[in-house]
Structure 1
Amino acid sequence: MFAQQKVTLPKGRHKIIILDEADSMTDGAQQALRRTMEIHSKTTRFALACNASDKIIEPIQSRCAVLRYSRLTDAQVLARLLEICKKETVSYTNDGLEAIIFTAQGDMRQALNNLQSTFQGFGHVSSENVFKVCDEPHPLLIKDMLQHCVNGNIDQAYKVISHLWNMGYASEDIIKITFRVCKTHTMAEYLKLEFIKEIGYTHMRIAQGVTTLLQMSALLARLCKLSSDPNKIKK
């Protein structure tokens, strides 16, 4: 009905219809929208916002200019968090903001939700409080576990994974944080690539349903084995 309305606008100006979450529309609704876009193309412009462009039918995609937006950088998220903390007088520590950035992974909405939840719950944004709210394995524990694997110390590495398991964390949560920490962990580049490959294989097995502590322990054993025989990897 809005597209059908006659509105007096300067030459070259168009009415604009913005449809948010367009990927949740059914195929039938999208087919009807395509027809509406064709009929009123001279007077109306359509903007469709979605998370998954593959759920938009091809006839609509071919009629649109597709603009893809990547995740925000850590610096962009940090700048906005600092601005909000200043205006809202939020008590925080540097490691607390780092924890929020780590958990958000470039998603500003997630970062703001975590910031607000932590401050409302504890009155102070620290690393410990953030991970209590987000309920993710602490990356420092994962970092220690990976370092034990780099050193080939399977016993100490297993103590960390066993501790996380007894705290109730699922194997999916542990393996995701392990991957994210491994990407930035300080180690030889060739070894890091092998670690990431093994973590990826284990993640695949977990996704297939093998979510036991034994599966995680086997990953640590393979990582320690890689560290103990670096010449084999180089070859």
Structure 2
Amino acid sequence: MDVDATATDVSMEAPQAELLLPWVEKYRPASLDQLVAHEDIIRMIERMMAKKTLPHMLLHGPPGTGKTSTIMALAKTMYKERYKSMTLEMNASDARGIDVVREQIKTFVSVKQLFGSVDGQPKLVILDEADNMTSTAQFALRRMIEQYASNCRFILICNYSSKIIPALQSRCTKLRFAPLSQEQILGRLEYVAKCEKIQLTNEGAKAIVQVAGGDMRKVLNVFQTTSMGHAGRVDAGAVYTSTGVPAPEEIDHFLKTLLNGSVSFAASLTSLKGLLSAKGYALDDFLLLMHKQIIALDLPVRQRLQLTVALADIDWRLKQGCSDSIQLGAIVGIFHEARALGGA
């Protein structure tokens, strides 16, 4: 057996594994002071942790706003090397029934640690996407929260707090995580680009923010995907090409065509079909960006209102599975109606 060769192979595995690690995990904050947003919430959690008065918590807000990262950082700060033995992490969307509450969670919270607690801190049960749990499972969880409050804290993470039963909400401290600001996201992008030695242009960074819609998880995924296809340099064109999302310039050009009174219905429809076909854009992506551009356009209030309501109707029909071709015609039609309304 070649011991030296084996040792060399093992030593090469760590860098290779880190290279293949998704950036969402690679750059997940390891401590509370590494978080880039929600300073008020972080300070409050730090005070409760220092006083050992950590309550059950319900963290809610849009995806990618740092809910899970905050709790992971809290657990690692509290437990350090015993992090894995003192926490139970579960995704409630995968295991949402009452059996999970009765078996896995109950087993974890009822078993005492062999070496006792860590500095008097309780265990943590982290339930991600808790709004996907059934009502029956939530009621069972309520009883368990009461029974094991002396040695365990439950952290519920969800997008919509309205889907959590009132009995659970009343037993938790509710913390809302607002979307990250553009400045906070751009700062994190700059840090990742520096660590990965990638040239990220200002336009490229803004394009990533626009495509991700304030979701930090999506920001990092888009950045990683784009950088893999455009090694060394990421600009706005690379971002839109990699994600298959229309560039704002394309949307703006097409809106001007639709609002131009000299362009016929047939010509407008042919132009839109050609753009979607040539670039392979999804109509619902195109529709969403079109709505954002309309809000920013200098249009009469009645025109903007009519277009916004009509686009919402078209979006609903697309979600119901209606024909894309028919809805393309509807898009062109509503702009021709709006032109008539505005006296174009």
TM bin, normalised by shorter chain, reads: 0.7 to 0.9
1:2: how far off? 4.8
Measure the CA separation in 1 of the matches of 2:305 and 2:131: 36
Aligned to 1:49, what secondary structure does the other structure show? Answer: strand
Identity %: 32
Mapping 1:1-235, distance limit 5 Å: 1-4=107-110, 5=112, 14-123=122-231, 124-155=233-264, 157-167=268-278, 168-184=280-296, 186-190=297-301, 191-230=303-342
1:9: how far off? 7.8
Call closer, same or farther: CA 1:210–1:17 in 2, change over 3 Å: closer
Paired residues of 1:171 and 1:212 also in contact (CA < 8 A): yes
Aligned to 1:66, what secondary structure does the other structure show? Answer: strand
Measure the CA separation in 2 of the matches of 1:187 and 1:24: 42
Measure the CA separation in 2 of the matches of 1:64 and 1:211: 45
Paired residues of 1:153 and 1:224 also in contact (CA < 8 A): no
Measure the CA separation in 1 of the matches of 2:270 and 2:201: 29
Render the CA deviation track for 1:126-167: whole Å, top value 9, x for unaligned.
222112221123332111111222333444643441223323
1:119: how far off? 0.7
Aligned partner letter, 2:109? A
Paired residues of 1:171 and 1:211 also in contact (CA < 8 A): no
Render the CA deviation track for 1:14-62: whole Å, top value 9, x for unaligned.
5443333333444444333222211122443221112333443332222
**Which piece of structure 1 moves more, 134-143 or 149-158?**
149-158
1:106: how far off? 0.5
Q: Which runs of 4+ in 1 moved over 4 A?
A: 6-11
In terms of fraction of residues, the more strand-rich structure is 2
Call closer, same or farther: CA 1:75–1:228 in 2, change over 3 Å: farther
Aligned to 1:41, what secondary structure does the other structure show? Answer: coil
- Residue segments in structure 1 that go unaligned for 5+ positions in a row: none
Aligned partner letter, 2:143? R
Aligned partner letter, 1:225? E
Paired residues of 2:130 and 2:164 also in contact (CA < 8 A): yes
Call closer, same or farther: CA 1:64–1:158 in 2, change over 3 Å: same
Aligned residues between the structures? 230
- Residue segments in structure 2 that go unaligned for 5+ positions in a row: 1-106
Paired residues of 1:171 and 1:213 also in contact (CA < 8 A): no
Aligned to 1:45, what secondary structure does the other structure show? Answer: strand
Measure the CA separation in 1 of the matches of 2:255 and 2:150: 60
Aligned partner letter, 1:131? Y
Measure the CA separation in 2 of the matches of 1:98 and 1:160: 28
Call closer, same or farther: CA 1:207–1:18 in 2, change over 3 Å: closer
Aligned partner letter, 2:286? I
Structure 1 vs Structure 2 CA RMSD? 2.8
Paired residues of 2:300 and 2:342 also in contact (CA < 8 A): no
1:101: how far off? 0.9
